[in-house]
Amino acid sequence: MTKRIVIIFFVGFFTACSWFKLKPKDMPVARVHDKYLLQSEINSLFLKGQHYPDSADIARSYIEKWVTRQLLTIHAELNLPKEKKDFSKQIDDYRTALLLYQYQKELISQKLDTVITPEDVKLYYDSNSAGMLLDEIVVKARYAVFLSNQPGLKEAYKNFKSVKPDDITRFYDYAYQYSENFSKDENKWISIVELSALPGFPLADIKTVLQRNRFLELSDSIRTCFIEFTDYRMNGEVAPLEYWEMKIKSIILNKRRIAFIEEMENEIYRSAQAKNEFEIY
């Protein structure tokens, strides 16, 4: 049997944006057979108080896609055999999965211990560091980038390398005032790739550079860069604890989640078993 399919578009919709204000929210704007698209659904596409110059085009596109989807659905219903249209098991499985996920999420948010102490991190690192090998070079470094024609660079580099507190203070004052890019966080481990954009950076020879130099003064045609490497680890070496700290915290937390869920499942099972709430034949 062939079903008659009727599609209705309200032409006034496409003639002026003011149409949105004139149509009641429960008025249909399109129909395919016995399915209706209501004005309220179109209204939900647009935030109140916002101006949309292309609102008519947006609405037209949405309606046409809606109509196409309804047509395809009807054709699928008409042409697929009954056994290929039965999704009750998939729907039930999907609902169960969503229900369990939401329940676990609620329990975890209420009861899971999410506090991870430095001792927790160190214990995990000490037990697993042999497998925490670097796949890239990491360094601790401070650096500053200046225009190459900036007055006072020679004196600034001298102060940059100095260990005297007064010289260090003078350099930082200079860097805060004149540098284009500046980092003094010399205690943070970073990938060497993060420094590769610095002017004149010798990425291709970086292993040799690190082994031979603590301080570098680099330049390209426009800029000059000062770098101090305070520590480094080569790829293939064990990663420093600080470099892996956030990953370790994530691993510990994930292990706690898994253990929490397993214990919750076992507790529910044992409780139901004790109360004879299920039987296995």
- 221 versus 169: which is more confidently predicted? 169
Is 14 a residue whose pLDDT tops 80? Answer: no
What six digits make up the tokens of 281? 């034949």
The pTM is what?
0.65
Is 223 a residue whose pLDDT tops 50? Answer: yes
The half-sphere exposure of 200 on its side-chain side, counting CA atoms within 13 A, is 19
Is 17 a residue whose pLDDT tops 50? Answer: no
Q: Mean per-residue pLDDT for 216-239?
A: 94
Distances from the Cα of 232 to the Cα of 130, 207, 208, angstroms: 18, 10, 12
Distances from the Cα of 225 to the Cα of 84, 179, 205, 231, angstroms: 67, 9, 17, 18
Is 6 a residue whose pLDDT tops 60? Answer: no
| pLDDT one-digit tens code per residue, 36-73 | 999 988 888 888 878 888 888 899 999 999 999 999 99
- 54 versus 7: which is more confidently predicted? 54
Q: Hey, what domains does the chain have and what are their CATH numbers?
A: 11-84 (no CATH), 87-132+241-281 (no CATH), 134-233 (3.10.50.40)
| pLDDT one-digit tens code per residue, 77-118 | 899 898 888 888 999 999 999 999 999 999 999 999 999 999
